[in-house]
Amino acid sequence: MKSETLLIIADSERDANMLYGSKLFVPDPFILVRKNGVSHLVLSDLEIDRATKSCPQASVHSLSRLRDKAIEDGVRAPDLGHIAAVLLRKLRIKRATVPTTFPLGFAQSIQSLDHSPALTIGNPFPERAIKHPDEVKKIREILRITQLGLDAGISMIRESKILKNKALRFAGKPLTSEMVRAAIHTVISQHSGIPCNTIVAGGEQACDPHERGHGPLKANKPIIIDVFPRSELTGYFGDITRTVVRGQASEAVRRLYEAVGKAQKTGFREVRHGKNARSVHQSVQETFQNLGYETERKNGHMQGFFHGTGHGLGLDIHEGPGIGSLSQDTLAKGHVVTVEPGLYYPGIGGVRLEDVVLVTERNPKKLTNYPQTLEI
């Protein structure tokens, strides 16, 4: 969007747009203005030298100098909004697009000054959805690390001992969701990944797709493991889910697993350039319906398949395009998306399988390479 002037005030540790636009990790909020394709960064004196070396194509401005200019203009205690206004005026910018997450306080500071520029809300970087080859490479790397973590967790479950009461025991202790999660997190951290909120949910807990899982795990019951770390080096996310049973799965769970596998294959077949994302989700829903698995509310709880088929993956764990019942997106070559159907029935358990694919003109290219095995 070289023709559009952009303004972002945020830290790049947590704000994906700021990281994408600045290419620089900074823990505290700073200012990014992009005019005619040229980035202007306003940073503290602490960060200026690093930014100048890391972002040679950007124009780096001193926060302290612009703050002094704001004080000269009559602002007693200038915040980043006032300072951004000084830069916008210096660059002769009369209108700028800001993201929907732009802080209201900073917007009010900008608007409080005379001759302040007009701010409009928009998507600063719609091109973020299309991943360039170097971005795909970064996603592949964090997926590799994700698989290492997943393998550590599944290996711990596989190596656990099944007791007569169907409890699982590992290294002389009851095996818990917390222990498996810690094993996953340890391996991911050792490989420059940042793990967070990994799901290890067994039995009835697995019927809530976003339940992290807690307490002892049981044999012969499905355990959903959903791992979605961020790369400490690049900021990109991985996301893989597997469902396993230590011991023997019931016939009902085996049927669930087979149905989810078929639904995921449907998703893989439908994901391609030019495809309406909502129709991909509908095809997955139809697969479950044709197999006899209905989605409904029963006894106050949803059961069946009641979440989206997938989502975009990149500098945010959930970004466009969305693949669900309300999606207005059209899939395009270069999108990186998850395909993660699931079925959840209280009294039986939950099953979810998730892999990441790159959208191409025809069949998607699978970026994950981890086996799908139910019984371990």
Residues 152 and 39 in one domain: no
Instruction: List all residues 6 or more positions away from 49 whose beta carbon is below 8 Å from its beta carbon.
Output: none
**255 belongs to a structural domain:** yes
What are the structure tokens assigned to 267, written together?
């998703």
Residues 110 and 160 in one domain: no
Q: What is the pLDDT of residues 100-122, one digit of tens each?
A: 999 999 999 999 998 889 999 99
Q: What value does the mean pLDDT take over residues 296-310?
A: 95
Residues 298 and 185 in one domain: yes
Q: What is the pLDDT of residues 366-376, one digit of tens each?
A: 999 999 999 99
pTM of the model: 0.96
CATH number for the domain including 216? 3.90.230.10
**327 belongs to a structural domain:** yes
**Which residue range is the domain that position 109 belongs to?**
6-124
Peptide bond into 99 cis (omega under 30): no
Residues 116 and 182 in one domain: no
Residues 141 and 108 in one domain: no
**374 belongs to a structural domain:** no
Residues 115 and 138 in one domain: no
Letter for the amino acid at 91? Answer: L
For 281-285, the CB contacts below 8 A with 24+ separation are 281/308, 281/309, 281/323, 281/324, 281/325, 281/327, 282/325, 284/309, 284/341
Q: What is the pLDDT of residues 41-96, one digit of tens each?
A: 999 999 999 999 999 999 999 999 999 999 999 999 999 999 999 999 999 999 99
Of all helices (H) and strands (E), which one includes residue 322? Answer: strand 319-323
Residues 53 and 176 in one domain: no
Query: Which percentage of the chain shows pLDDT scores above 70?
Result: 99
**280 belongs to a structural domain:** yes
pLDDT of residue 52: 93
Nearest to 117 by CA among 40, 44, 33, 41: 33
Residues 155 and 268 in one domain: yes
Distances (CA, A) of 158 to 2, 17, 153, 246: 53, 40, 9, 6
Q: What is the pLDDT of residues 261-300, one digit of tens each?
A: 999 999 999 999 999 999 999 999 999 999 999 999 998 8
- CA-atom Rg of the chain in angstroms: 24
Residues 140 and 59 in one domain: no
Residues 184 and 258 in one domain: yes
What are the structure tokens assigned to 215, written together?
């307490």
Residues 222 and 329 in one domain: yes
Domain boundary among 95, 124, 153: 124
Integer Cα distance of 275 and 287 in angstroms: 18
Domain boundary among 124, 153, 182: 124
Residues 260 and 113 in one domain: no
Integer Cα distance of 64 and 62 in angstroms: 5
CATH number for the domain including 53? 3.40.350.10
